Amino acid sequence: MLRAILLRLAGAIPVLFLVVCGIFALVHLAPGDAASMLASSDAGPEEVERLRLLWGLDQPLYVQFGKFLLNVLHLDLGISLRYQQPVIAMIAERLPATLELAVVTLILAVGVGVPLGIAAALNKGKWIDGLVSMIAVAGVSAPAFWMGILLVLLFSADLHLLPSSGRLPYGTPIAESTGFYLIDSLKAGQFQTFGLVLAHLALPAMTLAAGMIGIIARIARSALIDVGQEDFISTAVAKGLSRTRIVRHHLMPNAAIPITTIIGLELGVLMSGTIIVEVIFSWPGVGSLLFQAVNVRDTPLTTGVVVVYTTLFIALNVLIDMFYFVIDPRVAAAGGVRH
């Protein structure tokens, strides 16, 4: 099994390498002199020349690529043009906000989606089944930016039930340690702050989770129905097991396998979604950072965020594959899962 894990990790490295190559190619294929792209728009020709020498842009391409690769490996993603700070530091500062939102969304999506799927499967053909199916299609079809605006309209604008921007009301003190406000506020015993953090997470997480809930519910339903037809379920009934026991110990664990697959497939959508949702809710994460970077044509910052986001995505996919080793003993025997 260790061998299979190492193989999977090793398999991610060529992809990572190709991705970095691709990003480099993208930046250098872009129109406009690379130097003037890397300089701010009001730089004079001497400034541009200085930058060209500084960044080694007069060097042959392969040298530049080598430098780029080395920098990336040392986690040096350059300096932001607009903010004059190291890109990596800016991203690191905002990463916890995005990760916290993503994790809470995932918990929400699975926490609501799976029970809905179970309800639909156990009541197959009845009205609950149809209702879940409709919710699923609606959730998937409503674009995040519209859903977000609707939720704001519903909960925030008129009813003032939930806040619609930021992670906390302006000026709220928080004892930051991990950057994950849910954890931080609990650690410091600031329960009221904890409540505020949750309230601020509510709308963005619901917006982001809407589509995922639909898909997870559908997959959970079909996975349960498929597993329910398997022979070993008859064996379980023949043993005299109660319905609860069969669902909990035989149906669910086996259905978890395709559900995990779909979560893996939805990760990409989740990550892209955070970009839009962070913009709508003024969430201080990496997604809104990307938005700002793109707006002011800050190429180092844009490139840096793309590198980090993609690396994160690749890492999460590897993690999901690792999770398979835990839930399915057949995977290790087969030498690892291929999607």
Q: Segment 156-195, which members bind another protein (CB under 8 A)? A: 157
Window of 112-120, 183-191, 198-206, 275-283 that interacts with another protein by CB under 8 A: 275-283
**Which position among 130, 169, 195, 335 is part of the footprint of another protein (CB under 8 A)?**
130
CB 63, min distance to another protein, A? 22
Q: Using CA atoms of 62, 65, 66, 68 in order, give the dihedral in degrees to the nearest 10.
A: 160
Selected from 81, 108, 144, 151, the binder of another protein by CB under 8 A is 144
**Selected range binding another protein among 46-54, 76-84, 172-180, 238-246, rule: CB under 8 A:** 238-246
Total residues at the site for another protein (CB under 8 A)?
Answer: 78
HSE-CB for 181 with a 13 A CA cutoff: 28
Of 196, 276, 289, 337, the residue at the interface with another protein (CB under 8 A) is 276
Q: What gap in Å lies between CA 103 and CA 157, rounded to an integer?
A: 26
Least Å distance between CB 189 and another protein?
36
d(CA 158, CA 154): 6
d(CA 63, CA 81): 23
Per CB under 8 A, which of residues 20..49 are in contact with another protein? 22-23, 26-27, 29-31
Instruction: Return d(Cα 278, Cα 296) in angstroms, integer.
Output: 17
Angle between helices 87-122 and 191-228 (to 10 degrees): 50
148/274 Cα distance (integer angstroms): 12
Q: Which of 219, 220, 224, 259 binds another protein (CB under 8 A)?
A: 219
Out of 7, 13, 54, 232, the only residue in the binding site for another protein (CB under 8 A) is 232
Residues 291-310 that bind another protein (CB under 8 A): 291, 294-295, 297, 299, 302-303, 306, 309-310
Residue 278: closest CA among 160, 101, 153? 101
